[in-house]
Every structure is written in structure tokens, then in C-alpha cells.
A = this chain, B = another copy of it.
Amino acid sequence: MTRESNRSGIAPPSPGIRDVSRVAGVSITTVSRVLNNSVIPSEATRRKVLEAVEKVGYRPDPLFSAALRRHRSGRGVEPVKTKTIGFLIMRGLQEAAHRRHEDYYSRVLSAVWNVASKQRYHVMFAEVDAGESRVPDLVAENRVDGLLVEAELSAALRKVLVHRLPTVFIDRTYADLAADAVVTDYVQAVTDVLGYLWQLGHRQIALFSDTVDRFYNHESLEGFHRFYESRGLPLLCPELSQPQDIHPEINDQVIDAYLTRLWSTKPRPTAVVAVSNVYAEFMLAHLAKMRRVVPRDLSVASLNDLSVTDIPVHPALTSYRASMDRIGASAAELLLQRIRDPQRPTFRLLVSGRMIERASCGPPPDTSELDLP
């Protein structure tokens, strides 16, 4: 049926646009146009072509099309795509996950695949190092139409990527970059976790956030304040809920000082909520050193269940976990939308999840010690 009809039986040549044009009785130009909607063809022609496509089982060779359009597309005409999106994951994040036998990153990827494949997109997978500044191969080689980024790239690279390709960031947003993002809903997270602690009897609760200009700090603080306001209560220990000046190198000292301060506050908080698991885990380690028993002496919770430290955690941390399936699916949707319409305004999509009750929270230590309002 196609060209020379295969005598060998090996690698049957797939039908080309030429086969379609022959069967449809139109020029290959017309076939191409029907398939790409560049010029609107007559309804009759369109039908003829589509029928022929069906009949010969034609699938355009996306590699050729993509390569061609990339170089020749004039303004106005939307360039054809590789029909592939890239999923960039940070090596550190993922190795940490593996160390802990965590599956979240494969869940995100799986959700991405489900959405992408339904729209006949392919998914390319790549790992990048934290702080990466080189353009990843799949971008340099124009292999993808868009990018899902679950990695902390260098500021320069971020800018290059966003400029060059539709890009959706997962679990991170950047004030200086107009790009889509899918992030955990930290307002929801802090609200749920505080509600849980409240119900256990806690009234004096501190929020441990940091001074980095990241959405999770702002949002959890906002949720924190809202929570207390909605209950008509003043913040009981506002200085302990101020963002802390902390970076990886000084985690130890800052947490140490913080807990010492906490313990000398009167009335002292009976629970601490840390914006990230990393901080919460450092706290558990320090509390163990201080011979404090969690949750008997202090309840500890975290707003982000994604752990990246090597610290052995005991007791298991009660925390909030965004739905990985929804994060992956939403990110993919957002990206495919943007590929279709690069002009649409950027979105930031908040995904909520659920609290995971583990062992690090319990009733407050001693009700008599508390200044109940």
C-alpha cells in the first residue's frame, strides 16, 4: 500500500503524507494544511483528507514537523511542537526520597504522565543538580515543548528557561518570574495543623518560619495570624513566631537558641509548628539532646512532609502533605494549557492535601501551666 510495498517484511515503512494525498486526491500541501490548521481549508476537503488519514493509518512524523517549523515558522503561525514535555527533578530531592523510601516524586511523575498521555504528549524525564545553571540537554536540543520543574535551579537558568519555553514550577514560585506554578496551599496547611493542635488542647502554639522570601513563609504566617484572629485571640508568643534568620550552615545554633528561648517563655508554648520538615527534624534531634520528651513536653508538627535530611526521626512527625497526584496533574494541565496559549496570564495554583497524624503531637503537658484566655 505504501510506496514500494515491503518485500522484506522488516520495518514496514509507515505511511507518509504522500500516501494520504494520493488516497484523498489532493496535494500534499493541502494535507499538511488540514493537519495543521494553518490555512482553513474547505469542509469537503477537510473531510476527504481526514478520511484518507484514517484509511492509510497516517501519523505525521513529529520529529520532522517539529524541526521544520522551528526554523521556518513566521509570525502569526503557531509553530508545531515536539509533542513532548520535560519533567525536571532535582537530584538531591530525589535521593533524599530514595533514602527514605519515599514515593512522592514517582507519584507526581505518574500523574503528569496520565494527563500528558491523554493529550498525546510524551514525557521526558531528567534529573538536574540543585543550583544547576547549565541548560539541560533536552532543552538545548529542543526536545520538548514545555517544562515541569521540580528543582531549585540557578536564577539565571530559571530565567532562560522561562524565556525560552512554557514552564511550570512545582512547589516553588519566584517573585521576579512570570511563570506558572503549582504549590502546596500553606494557608490551608497551617490552618489544618493548628486546628488539630487546638483540638488537642494547645493554646500556646509557635510557628517556626524563616526569613527567606518564599511563599511558604508568607502564607503560613498569614494563615497563622488568621487562625488566631478568627478565634478572637491575640498571638500569645509573637516573638517566637517571627521568621527566623536561618540557613543550612547555622541550622543547629539557631534551632538550639530558639528552643532555649521557647522554654524560658512564660507561659511557654506547648506546641511548635515548623514550616518544613527539615526544621522540625532538627528540633526533634535537639529536644532529644535536651532530654525533652516529644510529645509529652512539647508537640512538634511540620507543614511539609517532604523530607530531605538524614536525621533519624523519632518520634514520627505529624505533618501536612499535599496531594502529589493533584500536584502532578495540575502542573501538567497548566503546562499543556500554556503550550496551547503562550499568552494566557500566569497562574499560581494552590493544592491542598491532608494532615498526617503521626506520633509527634499529643495533648499539652500541663493544663495548669497554661494561661487559658
Chain B residues whose CB sits within 8 angstroms of the CB of A124 once the complex forms:
84, 122-125
Of B10, B67, B117, B127, the residue contacting A61 (CB under 8 A) is: B67
Which residues on B sit within 8 Å (CB–CB) of A122?
A: 124, 126, 137-138, 141, 143
Whether the Cβ atoms of B109 and A117 lie closer than 8 Å is no
- Which among A11, A63, A87, A102 has the highest number of chain B CB atoms within 10 Å? A63
User: A110's contact among B66, B98, B102, by CB below 8 Å, is which?
Assistant: B98
Residue in B59, B98, B123, B163 whose CB lies within 8 Å of A141: B59
Q: Which residue in chain B gives the minimum CB-CB distance to A60?
A: B141
| Structural contact, A106 and B113, CB atoms closer than 8 A | no
- CB proximity of A231 to chain B, nearest CB, Å: 35
A63-B63, A137-B117 given as contacts; is B125 within 8 A of A109 (CB)? yes
Known interface pairs A67-B64, A141-B62. Does A94 touch B110 (Cβ–Cβ under 8 Å)?
yes
A140 within 8 A of B: yes
A363 to chain B, nearest CB (A): 28
Query: Are A106 and B123 in contact, with the CB atoms below 8 A?
Result: no
Interface string of A284-317 (1 = CB under 8 A from B): 0000000000000000000000000000000000
Total identical chains: 2
5 examples of A-B residue contacts, CB within 8 angstroms: A11-B164, A61-B142, A63-B143, A106-B109, A117-B126
A348 contacts partner chain B, Cβ-Cβ < 8 Å: no
* 0/1 string, A205-232, CB within 8 A of B gives 1: 0000000000000000000000000000
- Asked whether any CB of chain B lies closer than 8 Å to the CB of A270, the reply is no
Q: Does A234 contact B (CB under 8 A)?
A: no
A10 and chain B: residue at smallest CB distance: B163
Q: Using a CB-CB cutoff of 8 Å, which residues 105-140 of chain A contact chain B? A: 105-107, 109-110, 113-114, 117, 120, 122-127, 137-138, 140
B123 and A125 contact, CB distance less than 8 A: yes
Is B103's CB under 8 angstroms from A97's CB?
yes
Q: Given A113-B126, A122-B137, A124-B123, does the pair A67, B63 have CB atoms closer than 8 Å?
A: yes
Contact of A103 among B82, B106, B114, B163 (CB under 8 A): B106
Tell me the nearest residue of chain B to A101, going by C-beta: B103
Residue from the list B61, B66, B103 in contact with A102, Cβ < 8 A: B103
Q: Which residues of B contact A138 (CB under 8 A)?
A: 122
Task: Please state if A125 and B67 are interface contacts (CB–CB under 8 Å).
Answer: no
Q: Confirm or deny: A13 has a beta carbon within 8 angstroms of a beta carbon on chain B.
A: yes
Query: Counting CB contacts under 8 A, is A71 at the interface?
Result: yes
Chain B residues near A105 (CB, 8 Å)?
106
Min CB gap A80→B, angstroms: 11
With a cutoff of 8 Å between Cβ atoms, the chain B residues found around residue A66 in the complex are: 63
